[in-house]
A and B are shown apart, each in its own frame.
Chain A
Amino acid sequence: MPFFHGFKQVVLVKQVPNLTAGHVPMKPDGTIDRSKVQPMFNPPDLAALEAALELKDRLGGMVFALSMGPPDAEAVLKDCYRCGTDDHFLLTDRRLGGSDTLGTSYALALGVRYIERKWGPVDVVHAGMKALDGETGQVGPQVARWLERPCLPYVEQVHEVDLDAPKPLHADVIITGGAAQVRSTLPCVTVDAPTKYTIRTPLASRLMLMKDFRMEKLSIDDIGLDVPFIGVDGSPTKVWKSEPQTSAEGFRNTKFWTPDKVGELVAKWGEMGLFKEEVA
């Protein structure tokens, strides 16, 4: 496979169960009934995808989408393709099932290395801020650590990429209580924030051309994964106990009121001292 010499980016995407619809189907044991939950594209990853595609619009080159999950996670890679990505990789291996972030980020880092063996060195790896089904937000910085590349958390906007400068990437990042302008060397890992990106709609030209979609399925042997901290058994963190939020912790003895009694209710608040003292 010939190397590609232009600007290259990888976007990390995840398929998550769609739990945003409100009602969550639960099994009698209190866990989520996944067979009744539709999978979806992890929304925060859309910012990462958009960030990569915007840079591609400006600099040209190629964007590769990398995901890890069950075989049907192919769907999120197809979504990436419809928006404009060029090649697709799905890490799918039973031995990876149930990995926590440490193993996941390690496998993804090796996935990036695999892509680099195929296409040549990658300039930017994009990650979303978090996954809706885990809310850990750890993958981006950990991939950066494994790849020994600088990590830029919470990039809102990339201003310029001056490939001749020692620190080519110039970006705005979110910091506590404000924003910072940073410059970084390439290659680097960005964690992209959704605040300023406008997510594009799929390309009409690609909707009908799924036959051109290409994807490689990778096992842990393909990426040469050599660590024990993967899968349910190897992951450092274990779920000790799970409690659905039907537990009555924090429940109060609720008193019901009707609209004709608001006067009484307001008098109660007054006696509780909740109102602001009027300034005479």
Chain B
Amino acid sequence: MVDLNGWGINDVEGVYVVAEHQYGRLADVTPELIGIGRDLADEMKEPLTVLLLGHEVRHHAQLLIEHGADRVVVCDDPRLKHWVIEPYGRTIGAFCRREPPRSFLLGATTASNPLASWVAADLVTGLASVCTDLRISDVEYRRVMLSKQLLQKRPDFNAIYFSTIITPDFYPQMATARTGAFQAKPHEPGRKGEVVEIPAVFGPHDFDVEVVGIEVKPKHVDLKEAKAIVSFGMGIKNNPKPALRMVEELAAELEGGMVGATRAAVEHGYITHDHQVGLTGTVVRPAGYFAFGVKGAVQHIVGMMESKYVFAVNSDKGAPIVNYADDMLVGDLHEVLPELLEAVRAWKARHTGKAAAPAKAAPKAGAAAKG
């Protein structure tokens, strides 16, 4: 039998965020979680606490405050050098038992998602994963009005529809979010907050997993840095090689242009995962988004719908992407792409006063991005 934590609505206070860091720097998801955590805390008029665990991580505390934390709880211990679930989870669980939070946010990332899951079981509470919207609201549940409930909106069923999840009667109300799902607050240098140090708490089996080596694989492309993205989907499948080459050429013509892809295209091996746009890839907001042969699965749409301008080419006028495009060309991308490239080069030639010279194909998408 597992003991329920027994916390009621009056036993809990504030919003907690677990800071994620690797290779000596904070993960992008952390300031984003602090950003949404700040909104939730302000709505409830309760404090926002960031839990910072690791070895030689103390120096991040001030930065976390400048991103919006009221308080940073630091656990700096050589035994927390590597991000391993059990020692991290045990320490977080112990602190929550001492000061139970109302809402609790972690990243839906490789590092934080398993930790969040483990901690949710440890605290015997619910966890809504991969939330795309979080709010605080009063909720009537079983004819009882509950205040300060966390409304957790997330994609469900392979992102075909969205559910709003609540966790009535259970605390903390836990949620995870992917990198890019929320926006960080502007960095406020010199912002004041409290820093508290706590000791690590370990169980007898917490060092059963030992990290013996780490190999960093450089990420070739960070789509978040793109100003324009030329994406392709399974529409290229009839003649993928030339289509992919033209997609790369178009990206090379655009300011800050990079190549993106749908999950299906990545899973078919047309391009590496770091190019994937969407909920399971990167959530992007470029000035221009150019979608070729992208049907528009919800999981992709959610990853690009905040782009400033969207252009789409698709042979199917009924494809969902149509609804999210400012400009749409119904046609075969294999025919449209060469015409577009030619028109782009002609336009550039006119505006630079030079003859249209065929631009060199980018050797690979990653290099095209840097140009």
Contacts and interface: CB of A to CB of B under 8 A. Distances in A.
Q: Do A and B come from one complex?
A: yes
Interface of A: 17, 19-20, 24, 30, 32, 100-102, 105-106, 132-142, 144-146, 148-154, 167, 170, 174-185, 188, 191, 226-229, 235-245, 248, 250-259, 262-263, 265-270, 272-278, 280
A251 B20 CA distance: 34
A252 B325 contact: yes
Contacts of A241: 163-164
A272 B117 contact: no
A24 B361 CA distance: 40
B371 to A, nearest CB: 7
Given A102-B120, A262-B339, A237 B128 contact: yes
B118 A259 contact: no
A238 B2 contact: no
B65 interface: no
B261 interface: no
The secondary structure that dominates the B interface is mixed
Interface string B102-127: 00000001110111111011101111
Contacts, number: 288
A180 B27 contact: no
Contact of A274 (B1, B156, B228, B305): B228
A141 B85 contact: yes
Interface of B: 1-2, 4, 20, 22-23, 27, 82-83, 85-86, 89, 109-111, 113-118, 120-122, 124-130, 139, 141, 151-152, 155-170, 203, 205, 208-219, 228, 252-257, 287-288, 298, 301, 305, 309-311, 320, 322-331, 335-336, 339-340, 343-344, 346-348, 351-352, 354, 371
A102 B117 CA distance: 9
10 contacts: A106-B2, A135-B159, A139-B117, A226-B1, A237-B127, A238-B166, A240-B151, A240-B166, A244-B161, A280-B352
Given A20-B158, A102-B124, 14 more contacts: A135-B155, A136-B130, A138-B113, A138-B120, A141-B118, A151-B118, A175-B83, A177-B23, A177-B217, A179-B214, A184-B208, A191-B114, A254-B326, A276-B252
A17 B160 CA distance: 12
B121 A256 contact: no
A182 B326 contact: no
B169 A19 contact: no
For A236, A245, A267, the residue with the greatest tally of chain B CB atoms inside 10 Å of its CB is A236
9 tightest A-B CB contacts, nearest first: A236-B126, A237-B126, A138-B117, A150-B208, A236-B170, A153-B114, A141-B117, A181-B213, A145-B121
